[in-house]
Structure 1
Amino acid sequence: MTPKAGIDLERLERWSKHLRETYLDTGILPNALTLVYRRGEVVYQDKQGWADIERGISLREDSIFRIYSMTKPITSLALMMLVEEGQVTLSDPVSAYIPAWAGLEVYAGGEYGAYQTAPPTRPMQVVDLLRHTAGLSYFIQQGGKLDAAYRSLGLGTKTTLEEFITQLGTLPLEFSAGEAWHYSAATDVVGYLVGLISGQPFEQFVKERILLPLGMTDTDFWVPPEKAERFMTCYALTEQGRVVFDDVQRSPYLAPPHFVSGGGGLVGTAADYLRFCRMLLRGGELDGVRLVGPKTLELMTMNHLPNGADMAALARSPIALSESGSVGVGFGLGFAVTLDPARTLTQGNAGDFYWGGAAGTYFWVDPKEDLAVIFMTQLLFSPDRIRRTLRTMVYSALTDRLHETQA
């Protein structure tokens, strides 16, 4: 089989076989859709499984997925668009926009309702929100003293975005800004800042300034009735096996959200997210529409962790490590960034960047290879190994390097 865009498709078909035999036939994954894009074309597309197992509905190429934390890079880009316009800078204290946070202190002991606190070593800056060094936590975290308070207050679940910001201001920080990397609700705060600074609702800004200009017409914070037939059930992997987590016919995504989450609220198709990745691959422009300049995107995909550390050195919780790989991986302004492929023990290039979502979705962009890959499924707590194997099989199928074709 002749290679296409420098990819041996016969070797790449091993990924389809591996998925089917290891994850689909065994009942682990309900479905899987993979897109591989290189040198200006989709060179590989594979879909398998069911959008709704119980009702016997097959996965479609245009099925709509919950992308959860793959929302974060889109939200981060929205804020960087405002940085380009001079409306905010990365070094600004967050309290300049949320004055009630000016007195936030750091947790020093005690339980919810009777916390002991101490002053932070420095103010939280906007950059801390983008790189998860702000000292905030997350309702999905399980390791710290503050995580239970996030859950009991319904932060990110039961509140509106405005109530979320107010309630966060009543809790101490996990640590002083810049001292650690802790995967957190910080990107939801970024979404709030986008709305506050732009003067329009966050979801409206995202739609008008990013989604529609890029032609991401099936991506939104909810699924309207005319698209409901393409929406999917979401499953979860438990000790008892795979179970239904969010039934498509009763999903909260079928109505506009109470809490508009910049950290995890979007749903969309694989084809839509590929358009976002193509824009990233082209330095902020797609089909004549430029969202940000190349230097802005270059800044976003550098490692911004203090002292050039990787996430393994600074991470505070197991969930932070499993989300990203962490060893040999830094974090930029909305993306994980590969620093040293040898330390990650996975194929790739220094400078490739990526992120994933809670339901097993994953993407990465590798500018050195002119490569973007999208993986979609709908399974909470899906095995991390899937992502690493996908990277291995895609890079193993490359038959040349981009620089060799340009020599």
Structure 2
Amino acid sequence: MNMAASGQAMIGRRGFLAWGGQLAAAGAIGAFAPARAWARAADLYPTIRSQFESYVSSGKLPGVIATIGRAAGLPDIIAVGTQGQGEPTPVDIDSLWRVYSMTKPVTGMAAMLLVDEGKMKLDQPISEFLPEFANMTVLTDPDKSMDAVPAKTQITVRHLLTHTAGLGYSIITKGPLLQAYLDNGITPGVVSRFPIPGQPASAPTPDLKTFSERLAKLPLIAEPGTKWSYSISLDLLGRVIEVASGMDFEVFLKTRIFEPLRMDSSYFQVPKSEAKRLVSNYAPVNGVLFPIDPAPTSIYLDKPAFAFGGAGMVSSARDYDRFLNMLANYGELDGVRVMTTETAKLAMSDLLPSAVSTDGTFASGAGFGAGGRVGKGVNDGIYGWGGAAGTVAFVDPKRKLRAVCMAQYMPSNVYPFHENFAKWVMQDLGLPA
């Protein structure tokens, strides 16, 4: 994830969504009417409300919002604070947030639409769409050298969906491969117009086609299908989607997901007319919030190098709730079917290659589906992911439960929203953690 078009830099390691014990559906009596309905909803969730009020009253965050709902109804809304420090506008369900890696499940579902239509297969080599990936190499010592040997296995669509392609990530990768990524602008996603001290600079990110071609010339960190490693794979998948569909990736998302679901507040570039809804992004430093991307001058007002399928979306809590609502209904919302029931279930199932374990990774103890973590055991069937600026969301289709939390701070592990949000939800639903 890089900085602005010039003087780009990486951000720190992101935190990630931790799952708790068993979830069950809770009644959703709140509506989108503000103030009074929100107050009633907040009363249903005393833990979430008190946590949010604590973060805002202490100055740790200017504002935060959660939506919790069932597939058949509108979500409850718990909103506290404003869109920025010193700003009078309160956060609400239509405020705009940088969701970063919560873009990955959206891209994952877009790919599954093409799988459903037979335009790509899960275990199809991506070189059939992108010939430049036909002859990849694998590093022999990823942290120390660029020595590489020919890959034994082709990268497949499944590998890209599940972070098992052997690709790197500028927020994770170390050693000389990291420098090669930076030199080639393989750092998708933007953070700020300003350089952040201590973060290495990157060349500008190219267009998606060039991005793919440059990436194919670099070695992998592991043999495809053998290791779970958080990666740039969902960004590359955007290129596969546009080749397989014959449609620009961003146009595909708008046509097949955003418009059918009426997600009219999801963007890769925030229109100037909607900038007033954008929340400012902050870096907490020694108890002080440093504005790394103030809303009035946000880098998200500029056109990005391409629609970053792994980290590029800005969205509202309303929109992301509608996306999860569709998944909770196994592909349908408000009488509009976006994907078949079978495809939705497959997308939220464990798609990992049989030899891959997630132990010791961001997804530890779980499986991985189409761009998101899949729970096991008591968490069986729960699907979701978090973003680099503190956002987090999950859906439990079996119990028709969905939840979204939107905050805006970086890096995401400064505060424990990824780890604790699901626990707060369960506590307020009267379920054991």
Query: Does TM, scored on the shorter chain, surpass 0.5?
Result: yes
Distance of 2:111 and 2:366 partners within structure 1: 23
What amino acid is aligned across from residue 132 of structure 1 in structure 2? H
Distance of 1:107 and 1:4 partners within structure 2: 49
Selected match of 1:218 from 252, 265, 285:
265
Report the Cα offset of residue 11 of structure 1.
5.9
Report the Cα offset of residue 77 of structure 1.
1.0
The correspondence of residues 213-362 of structure 1 with structure 2, limited to 5 A, is: 213-238=260-285, 241-307=288-354, 310-312=357-359, 315=361, 321=362, 326-341=363-378, 349-362=379-392
Deviations 1:204-236 (A, max 9, x none): 111011101100011121111211111121112
Report the Cα offset of residue 176 of structure 1.
0.6
| CA shift in 2, pair 1:111/1:298, >3 Å | closer
Task: Determine the structure 2 residue equivalent to 1:344.
Answer: none
Is 2:330–2:397's contact at 8 Å kept on the other side of the alignment?
no
| Higher alpha-carbon deviation: 363-372 or 39-48 | 39-48
The answer as to 2:147 corresponding to 1:116 is yes
What amino acid is aligned across from residue 179 of structure 2 in structure 1? A
Report the Cα offset of residue 30 of structure 1.
2.8
Task: Determine the structure 2 residue equivalent to 1:346.
Answer: none
What amino acid is aligned across from residue 343 of structure 2 in structure 1? T
Task: Determine the structure 2 residue equivalent to 1:63.
Answer: 95
The correspondence of residues 126-145 of structure 1 with structure 2, limited to 5 A, is: 126-145=157-176
SS of 2:312's partner is coil
The answer as to 2:47 corresponding to 1:14 is yes
Report the Cα offset of residue 258 of structure 1.
1.9
SS of 1:65's partner is strand
Q: How many residues align?
A: 380
| CA shift in 2, pair 1:267/1:6, >3 Å | closer
| CA shift in 2, pair 1:62/1:6, >3 Å | closer
Task: Determine the structure 2 residue equivalent to 1:154.
Answer: 185
Distance of 2:72 and 2:256 partners within structure 1: 24
| Higher alpha-carbon deviation: 66-75 or 332-341 | 332-341
Task: Determine the structure 2 residue equivalent to 1:395.
Answer: 426
Is 1:76–1:130's contact at 8 Å kept on the other side of the alignment?
yes
| Higher alpha-carbon deviation: 137-146 or 260-269 | 137-146
Distance of 1:126 and 1:139 partners within structure 2: 21
What amino acid is aligned across from residue 357 of structure 1 in structure 2? G
Higher relative contact order (CA 8 A, sep 6+): 2
SS of 1:379's partner is coil
Is 2:67–2:403's contact at 8 Å kept on the other side of the alignment?
yes
Is 1:63–1:269's contact at 8 Å kept on the other side of the alignment?
yes
In structure 2, runs of 5+ residues without a counterpart are: 1-24, 30-40, 189-204
Distance of 1:20 and 1:38 partners within structure 2: 24
SS of 1:191's partner is helix
In structure 1, runs of 5+ residues without a counterpart are: 316-320, 342-348, 402-407
Distance of 1:4 and 1:131 partners within structure 2: 30
SS of 1:243's partner is strand
Task: Determine the structure 2 residue equivalent to 1:5.
Answer: 27
Task: Determine the structure 2 residue equivalent to 1:170.
Answer: 217
| CA shift in 2, pair 1:4/1:128, >3 Å | closer
| Higher alpha-carbon deviation: 83-92 or 391-400 | 391-400
Distance of 1:90 and 1:359 partners within structure 2: 30
Report the Cα offset of residue 111 of structure 1.
8.8
SS of 2:297's partner is coil
Task: Determine the structure 1 residue equivalent to 2:115.
Answer: 83
Distance of 1:169 and 1:39 partners within structure 2: 41
CA RMSD of superposed structures (Å) = 2.5
| Higher alpha-carbon deviation: 251-260 or 80-89 | 251-260
Task: Determine the structure 2 residue equivalent to 1:381.
Answer: 411
Distance of 1:101 and 1:364 partners within structure 2: 33
SS of 1:32's partner is strand
Task: Determine the structure 2 residue equivalent to 1:318.
Answer: none
SS of 2:417's partner is helix
| CA shift in 2, pair 1:4/1:99, >3 Å | closer
Distance of 1:85 and 1:159 partners within structure 2: 30
Task: Determine the structure 1 residue equivalent to 2:83.
Answer: 51
SS of 1:311's partner is coil
Distance of 1:58 and 1:310 partners within structure 2: 43
Task: Determine the structure 1 residue equivalent to 2:34.
Answer: none
Report the Cα offset of residue 37 of structure 1.
0.1
Distance of 1:87 and 1:338 partners within structure 2: 28
| Higher alpha-carbon deviation: 72-81 or 272-281 | 72-81
Identity rate, percent = 34
Report the Cα offset of residue 19 of structure 1.
2.2
| CA shift in 2, pair 1:69/1:110, >3 Å | closer
TM-score, scaled to structure 2: 0.82
| CA shift in 2, pair 1:210/1:178, >3 Å | same
The answer as to 2:48 corresponding to 1:29 is no
Is 1:185–1:263's contact at 8 Å kept on the other side of the alignment?
yes
**Greater fraction helix:** 1
Report the Cα offset of residue 55 of structure 1.
4.3
Distance of 2:57 and 2:359 partners within structure 1: 34
Task: Determine the structure 2 residue equivalent to 1:364.
Answer: 394
Is 1:351–1:366's contact at 8 Å kept on the other side of the alignment?
yes
| Higher alpha-carbon deviation: 144-153 or 68-77 | 144-153
What amino acid is aligned across from residue 374 of structure 1 in structure 2? V
